[in-house]
Structure 1
Amino acid sequence: MHTVRAYGAFGAGHPLRARGGRVVLALLVLAAALLTAAPAARADEPASQAAYLAARLRADPVYVTDQLPREIPHSTAPDFARLARRTGVPTYVLVLAGTAGSGKGLLGAVHDRLGRDGLYVLVDASGVTAATAYGARAPADDAWTVASYELPYDAGPLRSFGRFVDVVAQGGAEAARRAASARERYGDHDPADLYIGPSDRDNQSFLTGVLLTAVPLSILLLVPYVRRWRGRRPGATEPTKPRPRSRHPWLVPAAALTAAAAIAVTASLVFDQTRSSAAPPPTAADLTARVDRVTEGLKAEGLRHDTVYVDPESPRVLSTGRLSELHDRIRAFARSNGGGPVYVLLVPQISEDESAGRQDVFTAAVHKRLGRDGLYVVADPLGGFIDVYDYGLRLDADSLSFDLPESISFGDRKAEQADDHALGDRLDALMTYLDKVPRTDEPATADAYAPAPEPVANHALPPLFSGDFGPGLFVGAVTALLALALTAGGLAVVGAVLRRRHPVQQPTSGLPFTAPTDPSPQYLRRTARTELGALADEFTDATRNAAQGDEPTDAPTDTPDAPRPGIPSQARAWDCFDAAMLLVDGDLETLGAPGPGDAALVAVVVLSRAGRAALRGEVGDLCCGVNPLHGPAVGRHHVRVSAEGTRRRRLPVCEMCRNTAVADPAAVHSLLMTLPPPAGDGGRVPYLDADGPLAAVPRGIPRLIDKVRETAGVQ
């Protein structure tokens, strides 16, 4: 059997067949080379960031970017290096802007480029963000967990890296235990912040000022006031006896001074914060390092008209082809009428950089350092923004500042979704737009784009005794006065309650008698019988004495028809006795059992006391209208007779009620005498609202006598 091999149109030994095989083989090799070369080039372009960082780590295992001087100055590199040596394994540290690194992916790419095993750590402004160990025994994940959970957000990157290093140095077992403990303890909440802001310091100063005046002044004002009130309170022993002067008058001022000193010292110890951030202050070199790097990079390109500076620390957003096209467009613009040099700066603009994220400040610094006029384009590879600034070209300023399309400045939806922000397409659109910008006769001046740089924040907090401390002192003084007013009001209420529990005792004709505010029926019956009996006895004695002196008089009888005495004092006493007897129906014995109402019993007591006073030559027409049992009035005064509302009545008042009406008008109503309701149900009622002649008391004793007689039908 023969096997037939098909070789096409030529036989196996034909010379063209061998030559054709070599040609085909060459074409296949060339195609394979082209297919593999293109992906290799595309894979190599994004890795240029990793290559640059690997080269930096090859020179020094700790690399600190120059793009974060306000948060992590480049001068802190020795501090990171000192901490890195404590891990016990080769450690490579990258301190970059937050969005410049892609976590473990970037660390892996840098490790592949560097070719050295060890612990690789990525740090940004918030702290340690990623860590991976390659060929080294280091608990990177557990250490990152501990640093992330145990420290608050404002701890700062240096402190975060220090905590990370400490956990790595403890070994795998202890690191795993601390990581589990940190998750359990801080899983649902973050640790308390380490730093306070200027507004917090203002609050601390204000509170310190308030306490520093409110407490000592309260001691100076309230202690003497309360001591005086205790000496004058109702129920106090011997209230009329003057209190002896204190043997230690310096005690109260000393206590106030001690309180002020204690508050000042305690506030200084508790509010001991001195800084508002963990960020160390940058040096002058830190604030110019990035601008120097960019300008040196532009000079290295020979300052051609198509200079484009690509930040090597950031991810690549322009491929080699895009860069070539951009160079061509820039050279064409430079040769056009009214064109000129264009400098494209693919550099991140973030708030922690030397310009505080302001593109105009950054370009002004680069232009000043470079010393060349032209069109400066800032394209942020991290944020995706594009800004254009004209230094010395004849381009319409409004077209560059206000009319630049947003699709170029900020990008469209496609740009938002793209990792490279479609900067290649947008820069190409920008060059097309620049070709159409109107030219002007006068070149743009550099002063138009030369703003002052943002000042670096001073993280030192102001002293505690400054700022709002002064207003706090004033508010503290007002607070002390308010506390005094509230204390006075509270003690007035307490005094009113005590006065009800300890009725006022006030002498009449040298005889003390009680004057409760809410007398009981038993008290009124007992007192009425005693007072009326005493008036009868004294009137009998006065009549007897008058008869021995041959003065015409008649003794009182138990009947209302008895004749009146002729002496004025005795006449008043007789009128009072006569009216009181009318109220008890002429029988003193009826006062020992339920009989006359409570209002009538009060009138009996008032008339009896007035009659006894008249027999002693004290003939007065008015008694206290607040409480008739208080005795004679010393004048009239507008007083409040109810706790509800502000209605006042002009009533005759005794000395005590007048003093109360002047010192504490709101407490006078608590002195008003009240009586049980006639039906025996409900609360007590003011005596002025009771049925019978008692309501005539405020108009005087004579009117009360007339009212009693009128009620009884006696003229």
Structure 2
Amino acid sequence: MKPGGMRGVQVAAVAGRGIRRKYALAPALSLLLFFCAFWTAAPAGAAEGTTQAAHLADRLRDNPVYVTDQLPREVPRSTAPDFARAAERTGVPTYVLVLPGQSADDGEALLGAVHDRLGRDGLYVLVDYLEVTDAVAFGVKAPAEDALTVASYELPYDAGPLRSFERFAEVVAQGSEKAASRAEAARERYSDSGAGEDPEARFIGPTDRENQAFLTGIALTGVPLLILLLGSFVRRWRRRLPSSRGNPSSGNPSRLPRGALPGIALLTAVAIALGASLTFDQTTSSAAQAPTAADLSARVDRVVKGLKQDPVYTDPESQQVLDAGQRARLRDRISEFGRSEGGGPVFVSVVPLMTEDESAGNADAFASAVHTGLGRDGVYVVADPLDGDINAVSYGLPRVPNRSLFDLPESVQYDDSEARDHQLGDRLGQFMTFVEKAPRTDEPDYPATDRAPEPVDDHALAPLFSGDFWPGLIVGAFAALVVFALLAGVLAIVGTVLRRRNPAPLPSGALHFEAPTDPSLTYLRRTARSELLALQREFTDNPEQAAHIRAWDCFDGAMLLVDGDVDALADDAVEPASLVAVIVLSRAGRAALSTEADSDDSNSNSNNSYNLCCGLNPLHGPAVSRHHVRISAEGRRRSLLPVCQMCRETAIVEPGTVHTLRMTLPGTGPGRGDRVPYEEVTGPLPAVRDGIPQLINQIRESTSVR
């Protein structure tokens, strides 16, 4: 009954008795009845506002469990029997409303209003697309609050509304005493003031599946490849141990048959693939059940049926944002526009749009479905009572082309006020004014059909062997190489310790260089002098070595930088870049002489002595390969440079830190300003990136020596 209705009935009854007693009071009573009738009928807006509770009460009158048709992607209407079976286990009359979470600002107030309209005592429960949100017991004894607490705390956030209600009903059925004890235990374990634990999630998301696929790819290539590399290395490593050298046959009993190692690697790969498939067997990311075709079309059919009777349809399950007067004025504007020249039908649907509905929250997709169901051309307007957005699509109406709707003012399309009704009545009136002034076109406009994604795609997880699985294969191979390098290094150290009594001699050409990243000027002068003097002594002590062309070219280039006087290295006349060049050339010359001493084949000397220096820091010594490395912390630009073994491993394992190995030199000039990367200085030094011969040529050109 509408507000004021009972009071009207009571006044009418009293007035009737008064008329029978004394007819002289008829004029006064008539006036009183007129005011009572006016009081009852006047608040049209309030009467419209009761539509939501009255509509829901009517639904519960037919069935104590009502599942909305607005959440088919999360809670299809076909799940109503499951909610009904759970409600029967509570032991008290239970009325369940499954509605969008935004259906009411105050769930308890909505349940109270529905109870008043229905007039039946029982446990009233409100469920949204996630969980049980509110519950109130009217005239029955039920631990509603404790059951809410248990369902909220004990279940993970992704348990789903059905499981949440089942847990709620289970606690209600236990009675007040057990429910209170269970609620207290849940608060102590899961609340922030207690242990603060979170129940483990039931489902994984797309990001988790990407991580699973990536990890599977890494393991699928990394582990078998590591087995192959380590197996071969360990076999050679064991043969070099002292025990193997003393007793060559000692390792034969444990030697694997030929082909065993690849077989083990293959079986490992199969086991990893099979184990990952069984472990990561999730196929969905939500507890939502797949909706039927009827679930997906139910709300559209309801709206179409309403628009056939009235061009303005307001969702009865939502709070009313248009009063009777606003709806009447909007109908008049629509009728007037339909009769105007070039005008046509306008259909207004005041319904909420959510990602859980049949259109996945897409206004154009919803309008397209309604247009298909209604089968009439015109302007289809979708006004959302939740956030106040207004969207419109024109089908076959020359007066209103869709390109003009793109220019709909933002003040009309979006609500920038804080009004509860989002000023939808006024803004829909402004929309009609905009439509009336829209430019004419020669041909009708039929937009492309906009379809919502299939519900099966909403929560379906990608296959395990897809997406990031493929990059994982590549990363796994690189990871295997890195781990192999580390383990090989450890085994090499262990082998060295075990062979201490009979150490293998180091090659005479192995040089252990000092190579600071930011050397001081003092260090450069001291090191350049000592390195150049060492090279000079080797020529002095062994005059026949002067015939070694490569070593002599290095010595000649270094001496050109100091004008033939080693003592000049102690003065400020030699720049830091020249000092670095002297160090590099001196070390390269000594390496060439060392290689000459170890080889009788003079033709191999140039191959064994190093030509390329490390491009990040020439003081690191010879480069082992070229590699793309970042030379600066800013940006992601990389350069292909020759790098030494250490820089290469750093570029592979920690590419984000390799730029810290780049050598910088002290500034030049009186003030000795900020340090400068060595390749940016003036003079011959930057040519070292192209090789020692190129550096020597640059030095000779700069000193005019041919």
Give the TM-score range, shorter chain: 0.5 to 0.7
CA shift, 1:467, in A, is 4.1
CA offsets 1:505-556 (integer angstroms, 9 cap, x no match): 9xxxxxxxxxxxxxxxxxxxxxxxxxxxxxxxxxxxxxxxxxxxxxxxxxxx
Equivalence map 1:633-712=2 (5 Å):
none
Match of 1:78 among 63, 81, 87: 81
Q: Does 1:298 align with 2:307?
A: yes
Equivalence map 1:195-594=2 (5 Å):
195-233=203-241, 235-236=242-243, 238-239=245-246, 241=248, 243-246=250-253, 249-250=256-257, 256=265, 259-260=268-269, 262-299=271-308, 301=309, 307-397=311-401, 400-413=404-417, 417-442=418-443, 444-445=444-445, 447-448=446-447, 450-458=449-457, 459-503=459-503
CA shift, 1:123, in A, is 1.1
Paired with 1:399 and 1:477, the residues of 2 have a C-alpha distance of 53
CA shift, 1:30, in A, is 3.3
Asked if 1 retains the 8 angstrom alpha-carbon contact of 2:378 and 2:397, the reply is yes
Asked if 2 retains the 8 angstrom alpha-carbon contact of 1:388 and 1:400, the reply is no
CA shift, 1:645, in A, is 5.4
Distance 1:476 1:308, change over 3 A: same
Paired with 1:262 and 1:396, the residues of 2 have a C-alpha distance of 64
Match of 1:100 among 89, 99, 103: 103
Among all aligned residue pairs of Structure 1 and Structure 2, give the percentage whose two residues are the same amino acid. Answer: 58
Task: Say which SS state the counterpart of residue 143 (structure 1) adopts.
Answer: helix
1:113 aligned residue: 117
CA shift, 1:54, in A, is 0.8
AA at the equivalent of 1:66: D
Paired with 1:366 and 1:289, the residues of 2 have a C-alpha distance of 11
Distance 1:47 1:492, change over 3 A: same
1:538 aligned residue: none
1:573 aligned residue: none
Q: Does 1:177 align with 2:206?
A: no
Equivalence map 1:33-52=2 (5 Å):
33-39=37-43, 41-52=44-55
AA at the equivalent of 1:49: Q
Distance 1:633 1:429, change over 3 A: closer
Match of 2:59 among 56, 68, 73: 56
Asked if 2 retains the 8 angstrom alpha-carbon contact of 1:360 and 1:449, the reply is no
CA offsets 1:597-620 (integer angstroms, 9 cap, x no match): xxxxxxxxxxxxxxxxxxxxxxxx
Task: Say which SS state the counterpart of residue 450 (structure 1) adopts.
Answer: coil
AA at the equivalent of 1:229: W
CA shift, 1:49, in A, is 0.9
AA at the equivalent of 1:420: D
CA offsets 1:256-286 (integer angstroms, 9 cap, x no match): 5664455445434432322111111111111
When the two structures are superposed, what TM-score results if normalisation uses the length of structure 2?
0.64
CA shift, 1:53, in A, is 0.9
AA at the equivalent of 2:123: L
Distance 1:131 1:489, change over 3 A: same
Paired with 1:439 and 1:639, the residues of 2 have a C-alpha distance of 84
Structure showing greater radius of gyration is 1
Asked if 1 retains the 8 angstrom alpha-carbon contact of 2:394 and 2:400, the reply is no
Distance 1:392 1:247, change over 3 A: closer
Paired with 2:255 and 2:238, the residues of 1 have a C-alpha distance of 18
2:201 aligned residue: 193
Paired with 2:215 and 2:155, the residues of 1 have a C-alpha distance of 28
CA shift, 1:253, in A, is 5.9
CA shift, 1:501, in A, is 4.8
When the two structures are superposed, what TM-score results if normalisation uses the length of structure 1?
0.63
* Structure 2 unmatched ranges of 5 or more: 1-21, 506-592, 611-617, 623-643, 647-706
Task: Say which SS state the counterpart of residue 70 (structure 2) adopts.
Answer: coil
Distance 1:365 1:665, change over 3 A: closer
Q: What's the Cα RMSD here?
A: 3.3
Paired with 1:217 and 1:403, the residues of 2 have a C-alpha distance of 60
AA at the equivalent of 1:195: F
Distance 1:646 1:411, change over 3 A: closer
Paired with 1:367 and 1:440, the residues of 2 have a C-alpha distance of 21
Paired with 1:148 and 1:437, the residues of 2 have a C-alpha distance of 52
How many pairs are equivalent?
A: 496
Paired with 1:203 and 1:328, the residues of 2 have a C-alpha distance of 58
Paired with 2:31 and 2:211, the residues of 1 have a C-alpha distance of 80
CA offsets 1:279-321 (integer angstroms, 9 cap, x no match): 111111111111111112223x2xxxx6211211111111122
CA shift, 1:51, in A, is 0.8
Paired with 2:183 and 2:74, the residues of 1 have a C-alpha distance of 27
CA shift, 1:200, in A, is 1.9
Task: Say which SS state the counterpart of residue 42 (structure 2) adopts.
Answer: helix
CA offsets 1:23-43 (integer angstroms, 9 cap, x no match): 55654553354345434x544
Task: Say which SS state the counterpart of residue 313 (structure 2) adopts.
Answer: strand
CA shift, 1:105, in A, is 1.0
Name whichever of 145-154 and 123-132 sits farther off. 145-154
Asked if 1 retains the 8 angstrom alpha-carbon contact of 2:75 and 2:288, the reply is yes
Name whichever of 474-483 and 144-153 sits farther off. 474-483
Distance 1:230 1:185, change over 3 A: same
Asked if 1 retains the 8 angstrom alpha-carbon contact of 2:387 and 2:415, the reply is no
Distance 1:123 1:639, change over 3 A: same
CA shift, 1:483, in A, is 2.9
Distance 1:259 1:340, change over 3 A: closer
CA offsets 1:405-442 (integer angstroms, 9 cap, x no match): 222111332xxx11111111112222233333333343
1:139 aligned residue: 143
* Structure 1 unmatched ranges of 5 or more: 1-17, 506-624, 627-631, 649-663, 667-715
2:694 aligned residue: none
CA offsets 1:620-654 (integer angstroms, 9 cap, x no match): xxxxx99xxxxx988598799xxx95569xxxxxx
CA shift, 1:454, in A, is 2.8
AA at the equivalent of 2:89: R
Distance 1:230 1:31, change over 3 A: same
Paired with 1:315 and 1:127, the residues of 2 have a C-alpha distance of 21
Asked if 2 retains the 8 angstrom alpha-carbon contact of 1:232 and 1:239, the reply is no
AA at the equivalent of 1:273: Q
Distance 1:321 1:665, change over 3 A: closer
Paired with 1:465 and 1:22, the residues of 2 have a C-alpha distance of 88
Distance 1:396 1:328, change over 3 A: closer
